[in-house]
Chains A and B, each alone.
Chain A
Amino acid sequence: MAFPTDSAQPRLAPGCRWGNSGEDDKVLLFPEGALRLQGTGQKIVELCDGQRTFLEIVGALQTHYNASDATQIRQDIASFLEQLQRKRIVDY
Chain B
Amino acid sequence: MLPNPLALIAEVTHRCPLHCVYCSNPLEMTAAKLELPTEAWLRVFNEAAQMKLLHLHLTGGEPLARADLKELIAGAHAAGLYTNLITSGIGLTEPRLAALIEAGLDHIQLSFQDSREDAANWIAGTRAHAHKLELAGIIRKHKVAFTINLVVHRQNLDHLDEMIALIEVLSPDRMEIAHAQYYGWALENRAALMPTREQLENSVKVVDEARERLQGRIRIDSVTPDYYARYPKACMGGWGRRLMLIDPAGKALPCHAAGVIPGLQFDNVRERSLEWIWQESPAFQQFRGESWMQEPCRSCDRRMEDFGGCRCQAFLLAGDAAATDPVCSLSPTHHLVETTLLQMNTERLPVSKPISVAQPQTASWLYRINPA
A87 partner residues in chain B, CB cutoff 8 A: 219
Select one of A1, A13, A19, A32 contacting B80, CB under 8 A.
A19
Size category of the A interface is 10 to 19
A17→B106 contact, CB < 8 A: yes
A9 near B: Cβ within 8 Å? no
B216 near A: Cβ within 8 Å? yes
Give Cα A27–Cα B6 distance, bound, in whole angstroms. Answer: 12
Report the minimum CB–CB distance from B4 to chain A (whole Å).
13
B80→A20 contact, CB < 8 A: yes
Asked whether A14 and B54 contact (CB < 8 A) given A20-B80, A86-B219, A88-B219, the answer is: no
Asked whether A86 and B145 contact (CB < 8 A) given A29-B55, A32-B221, A34-B54, the answer is: no
Asked whether A30 and B145 contact (CB < 8 A) given A15-B106, A88-B173, the answer is: yes
Most chain B beta carbons < 10 A, residue from A31, A85, A88: A31
Size category of the B interface is 20 to 34
A14→B217 contact, CB < 8 A: no
Residue pairs across A and B with CB atoms within 8 Å: the count is 54
Asked whether A13 and B216 contact (CB < 8 A) given A19-B54, A19-B82, A31-B147, the answer is: no
Give Cα A40–Cα B105 distance, bound, in whole angstroms. Answer: 29
Asked whether A27 and B54 contact (CB < 8 A) given A14-B173, A15-B173, A32-B221, the answer is: yes
List CB contacts (< 8 Å) of A3-53 with chain B: 13-17, 19-20, 27, 29-32, 34
Q: A14-B173, A17-B82, A32-B221 are in contact. List 14 more A-B contacts (CB 8 A).
A: A1-B217, A14-B145, A15-B106, A15-B146, A17-B106, A29-B106, A31-B84, A31-B145, A32-B55, A34-B82, A85-B216, A86-B216, A87-B219, A88-B218
List CB contacts (< 8 Å) of B197-227 with chain A: 215-219, 221
